[in-house]
Chain A
Amino acid sequence: NAGVTQTPKFRVLKTGQSMTLLCAQDMNHEYMYWYRQDPGMGLRLIHYSVGEGTTAKGEVPDGYNVSRLKKQNFLLGLESAAPSQTSVYFCASRPGVSNQPQHFGDGTRLSIL
Chain B
Amino acid sequence: EDKVVQSPLSLVVHEGDTVTLNCSYEVTNFRSLLWYKQEKKAPTFLFMLTSSGIEKKSGRLSSILDKKELFSILNITATQTGDSAVYLCGAGGTSYGKLTFGQGTILTVHP
List the interface of chain A (C-beta within 8 A of B): 4, 31, 33, 35, 40-45, 48, 50, 56, 58-59, 90, 94, 98-107
Contact flags B28-44 to A (C-beta < 8 A → 1, else 0): 00011010100001111
Q: Is the CB of A50 within 8 A of B96?
A: yes
Q: Is the CB of B45 within 8 A of A103?
A: yes
Interface range, B side: 20 to 34
- Known contacts A43-B88, A99-B48, A99-B50; decide if A31 and B41 are in contact (CB<8 Å): no
B25 interfacial contact with A, CB 8 Å = no
Chain B interface SS verdict (over half): strand
Q: Which of B9, B34, B41, B96 has the most CB of A within 10 A?
A: B96
Q: Is the CB of B90 within 8 A of A43?
A: yes
Distance in angstroms between the alpha carbons of A59 and B48 in the assembled complex: 22
* A93 CB to nearest B CB, Å: 10
11 contacts between A and B (CB under 8 A): A40-B9, A41-B103, A42-B6, A43-B99, A90-B43, A100-B97, A101-B48, A102-B34, A102-B97, A102-B99, A106-B41
B68 partner residues in chain A, CB cutoff 8 A: none
Q: Is the CB of A44 within 8 A of B101?
A: yes
> What 6 A-B pairs are tightest by C-beta distance, nearest first?
A42-B101, A106-B41, A104-B42, A43-B101, A101-B45, A42-B103
Q: Is the CB of B104 within 8 A of A90?
A: no
B4 partner residues in chain A, CB cutoff 8 A: 42
Contact flags B75-111 to A (C-beta < 8 A → 1, else 0): 0000000000000101000001111111110000000
B97 partner residues in chain A, CB cutoff 8 A: 31, 94, 100, 102
Distance in angstroms between the alpha carbons of A31 and B90 in the assembled complex: 16
A94 partner residues in chain B, CB cutoff 8 A: 97
- Known contacts A99-B31, A99-B32; decide if A45 and B98 are in contact (CB<8 Å): yes
A56 partner residues in chain B, CB cutoff 8 A: 96
Besides A33-B98, A104-B42, 16 other A-B contacts (C-beta < 8 A): A31-B96, A40-B103, A42-B4, A42-B6, A42-B88, A42-B101, A42-B102, A43-B101, A48-B96, A99-B31, A99-B48, A99-B50, A100-B97, A102-B90, A102-B97, A102-B99
